[in-house]
Amino acid sequence: MQLKDYLSAISRRWWIIALVVLSATVCSFVFSKLQTPVYRSTVVLMNTARLDWGTTMTVQVLLRQQEEELHTVAIASKVNDRMKLDLSPNVILSMIKTKTYTDSITIQLDVEDVDPNRARKIALGYGQVFEEEKAAEYSMVAPENRVQVAMLEDPTTGVLVRPNTKMNTAAGAILGLILGLAIVVALEYLDDSLRTPEDVARYLDMPILGLIPTVQRK
């Protein structure tokens, strides 16, 4: 089959493509609306220390240790008690994600929850608890060698991160278009009927010498 054959098939069976695109778009929209909304609140913990206190490797070790501490049951329990969340530590730990940034010596902690206000409370609780933990840990260290941890700013109320209805709907429409085109191409490939003179010539492997025109009666 040649390209023009596929284009002809698309023009004849455009309604199949339109139907598939519409169905996929509607399904994606409904699926997004049926999902439980998830909100994210973020707190950034910044380390302040002497610029010449260690090498990049030391910074990486420090951030990795702090990141591991943030994922402990002990810290989660203190956050739960401080914010009066009435959640188990494991549930709180399942809500958080952390990422370290060596260049700024910071840790970003994201909290994802179905309640935007509770997401903020958990993020704020982690910031406050970790500040106090590090202050107590370095209280006996000489001031010039201390590492201070503080929130860059208070976390805000959680923002919606899932579902992204617009993106899901657009993705559904694109997927529907691809699927619709694939169906039309498959139908055209499986269709062995002869519709045009060119089809007859290819089927017989012989040139066409003449055509009998269709006579329209009045």
Range among 144-148, 155-159, 196-200 rated most confident: 155-159
Three-state secondary structure along 38-84?
Answer: EEEEEEEEEEECCCCCCCHHHHHHHHHHHHHHHCCHHHHHHHHHHHC
Q: Cβ(148)–Cβ(49) under 8 Å?
A: yes
**Predicted pLDDT of residue 150:** 92
| Secondary structure letter of residue 35 according to DSSP | S
104-138 pLDDT, tens per residue? 889 999 999 999 999 999 999 999 999 999 999 88
Top CATH class, 38-162: alpha beta
44 or 55, which is more confident: 44
- Element (DSSP H or E) covering residue 41: strand 38-48
Task: Identify any residues that bridge with 99 across adjacent strands, giving them in sequence order.
Answer: 108
Chain centroid to Cα 55, Å, comes to: 35
> Does the structure show a pLDDT above 90 at 67?
yes
Cα–Cα dist 100/106, whole Å = 6
Indicate the residue type of 153: E
Q: How confident is the model at residue 207 (pLDDT cuts 50, 70, 90)?
A: confident
**What average pLDDT score do residues 145-152 get?**
86
Contact of 10 with 182, CB cutoff 8 Å: no
**Domain ranges for the chain:** 3-34+165-204, 38-162
